[in-house]
Every structure is written in C-alpha cells, then in structure tokens.
Amino acid sequence: MKLFVTATPEKAIGGYEVAHIMHGGWDFSQIPNDSQSDIVALNAIDFVEYNHRKVFVSELVSKLRRDAKLVIVGIEAYELINSVRSRTKSIEEYNNIIGSVKSMGNALDVISVLRAEGLKIDSLQFKGEIYEITTGR
C-alpha cells in the first residue's frame, strides 16, 4: 500500500491512499503499522504544531513496512530567512508563507528523528527554501 499525506487540497498521486492533516492534527489509527511500501508527506510536516513534529515523523515511520520508502517535503526555515535577507523573497512573500503554516523547522532536525527511528537517509535535496528528504527502511 502507498500513502500520500497532505494538509492542502492537492490531487493525490495516482495509486496512493490519502491522509489529511487537519487543524495541526492527524489520525493514522486506521492505517495498520508496517503496511505501507511508500509514504509521501507533501505539505504535511509544516502543518503540524512544532512540538508535535517528532511524534508525527515517528508515526509515519511506524506505518512503513520493510524496504519501504518515505519522502518528507518541508520548508527549511533557515533558507527562507536567508532568501528574505538576500532579498530574493519579499517581506510580503515571507509573511504569506509563515502565515499559511503551523510551524517551520529545518531538514537536519527531521533527519535526526528519522535516524533515531533507524531509517537510512537516501537523499536530501533543496530547491530554494523547500527541502525533500528521501529515506529507506
């Protein structure tokens, strides 16, 4: 099984079940542990309260089966700040971004949680202030 996790009303990836983040919370109780071969969390982690991000990532990991892949996409707070400082993003763009999410962190914090959960980091990519972490179990 494959799972697409999001907080925004995007179209799901074909062949993926969808789980929504709503008002900073989530409910994965209907998804059995060790059942997912692929999980893509796009527009998800930044919509979870900051102090719940580790639990959110841990719950995603618990749903992965052996040899599964997990992709987490989020906003890199330091890169966003740098883009405002270097004036590649305006103050208005910055406020629009931070006003639309519940929290913001950085990729290294997410990676440390993933490693603590026993996952191997396959790749970390940046596109501006957006990071994408791909892991394998």
Q: Which amino acid, residue 26?
A: W
Per-residue pLDDT of the chain (137 residues; tens, 9 = 90+): 999 999 987 777 888 999 999 888 899 999 999 999 999 999 899 999 999 999 999 999 999 999 999 999 999 999 999 999 999 999 999 999 998 899 989 999 999 999 999 999 999 999 999 999 999 87
Helix, strand counts (H, E) of the chain: 4, 6
Q: How many domains, the chain?
A: 1
Range of the structural domain that residue 33 is part of: 2-136
CATH number assigned to the domain comprising residue 108:
3.40.50.150
The conformation of residue 87, written as its DSSP 8-state character, comes to T
Which 3 state secondary structure label does DSSP give 76? strand
**C-beta neighbour count of 21 within 10 angstroms:** 21
Token look-up 């841990």 returns: 58
